[in-house]
């Protein structure tokens, strides 16, 4: 089983967004700004959603200058490979932070081969 968390921000100007938030995209500049972390890289008890949201919290004003329609530009993805059953749970704190950031939560699950 594996899990990866991705934060994506749709923009036509990835270099300007990188400057605004102080982080480079992990994807090519012709794709949405993207940052990810694998579940195994998280500290014990750390939330992948919380880890990614921390990267953009407090930077909304700077992001709004370079991202058109910021309210619809942010998505957070949970990519989850499961063995026999796909069970995911999200804390109320993470869901509140997602709502405050106006990020869309996307979940993709698939059975391990």
- 54-76 pLDDT per residue, tens: 999 999 999 999 999 999 999 99
pTM score of the predicted model:
0.90
Q: With a cut of 80, say whether residue 20 has pLDDT above it.
A: yes
Burial 13-30 (b: 16+ CB within 10 A, else e): ebebbbebbeeebeeeee
Alpha helices in the chain (DSSP H): 14-21, 48-56, 60-66, 92-101
SS3 content of the chain, % helix, strand, coil (to 5): 35, 25, 35
Q: What is the pLDDT of residues 85-112, one digit of tens each?
A: 888 899 999 999 999 999 999 999 999 8
For the chain, domain boundaries: 2-111
pLDDT value of residue 1: 73
Q: Which of 36, 16, 37, 38 is nearest to 27 (CA)?
A: 36
């Amino acid at each position: 089983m594996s899990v990866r968390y991705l934060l994506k921000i749709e923009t036509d100007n990835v270099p300007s967004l990188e400057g605004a938030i102080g982080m480079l995209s992990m994807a090519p500049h012709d794709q949405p700004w993207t940052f990810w972390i694998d579940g195994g890289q998280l500290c014990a008890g750390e939330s992948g959603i919380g880890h990614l949201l921390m990267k953009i919290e407090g930077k909304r004003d700077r992001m709004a200058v370079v991202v058109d329609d910021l309210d619809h530009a942010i998505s957070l993805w949970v990519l989850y490979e499961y063995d026999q059953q796909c069970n995911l749970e999200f804390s109320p704190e993470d869901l509140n932070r997602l709502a405050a950031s106006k990020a869309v939560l996307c979940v993709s699950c698939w059975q391990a081969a």
